[in-house]
Chain A
Amino acid sequence: MESRTLTVTELNSYVKDLLATDPLLMNISVRGELSNYKIYPSGHHYFTLKDQESSLKCVMFRGSASKLRYRPENGMGVTACGRVEVYLRDGAYQLICTSLMPEGMGDLQVAFEQLKAKLSAEGLFDPAHKKPLPFLPRRIAIITSSAGAAVHDMIRILGRRWPMSKVIVLPVRVQGVEAPPEIAGAIRYANEFEVADLIITGRGGGSLEDLWAFNDERVARAIYASRIPVISAVGHEPDACISDYVADRRASTPSNAAEIAVPDWHEMQETLNSYGIRSRQAMEKSLHAASQRLDALRGKRVLTEPSAFLDSRRMDLDRMRDRLLSSGERQLAVKRQRFVKLAAALDAMSPLRVLSRGYALASDAEGRVLRSVRDLNPGDRVRVRFQDGLADCRVEQIQEGEV
Chain B
Amino acid sequence: MAEKLSFEQSLARLDEIVRHLEKGDLPLSESISLFEEGTGLLSSCSAMLEEAEQKVVKLRKGPDRVPEELPFVDED
Contact = CB atoms under 8 A, between A and B. Distances in A.
B46 A167 contact: no
Given A147-B76, A164-B7, A169 B42 contact: no
B8 to A, nearest CB: 5
Contact of B59 (A159, A170, A286): A170
A94 B35 CA distance: 87
B58 A169 contact: yes
Given A164-B7, A276-B42, A282-B24, A193 B53 contact: no
A195 B42 CA distance: 30
B18 interface: yes
A99 interface: no
A141 B67 CA distance: 12
Interface in A268-295: 268-269, 271-272, 275-276, 278-280, 282-283, 285-287, 289-290
A88 B7 CA distance: 79
Nearest to A285: B24
A158 interface: yes
Contacts of A280: 35
B71 to A, nearest CB: 10
Nearest to A192: B65
B8 A286 contact: no
Interface string B47-76: 011001111111101000111010010111
Contacts of B56: 155, 159, 166-167, 169
Nearest to A185: B61
Nearest to A195: B67
B2 interface: no
A280 B32 CA distance: 10
Contacts of A195: 59, 67
A275 B54 CA distance: 26
A283 B42 contact: no
A136 interface: yes
B49 A275 contact: no
Given A159-B54, A276-B42, A287 B28 contact: yes
Contact of A146 (B18, B61, B67, B75): B75
A282 B23 CA distance: 8
Contacts of B14: 272, 275
A306 to B, nearest CB: 24
A359 interface: no
A265 B42 contact: no
B55 A167 contact: yes
A164 B76 contact: no
Contacts of B58: 146, 168-171
Contact of A286 (B31, B49, B53): B31
22 contacts: A146-B58, A147-B76, A148-B76, A152-B74, A158-B54, A163-B52, A164-B48, A166-B55, A166-B57, A169-B72, A171-B58, A265-B49, A275-B14, A275-B38, A275-B42, A276-B39, A278-B18, A282-B18, A282-B24, A286-B28, A287-B28, A289-B24
The 10 closest A-B CB pairs, nearest first, are A282-B21, A159-B54, A163-B54, A163-B52, A147-B75, A164-B52, A167-B56, A166-B55, A282-B22, A136-B8
Given A159-B56, A169-B56, 16 more contacts: A135-B8, A138-B6, A147-B75, A152-B76, A166-B54, A166-B55, A167-B56, A168-B69, A170-B59, A269-B49, A272-B46, A276-B38, A278-B21, A282-B31, A286-B24, A289-B24
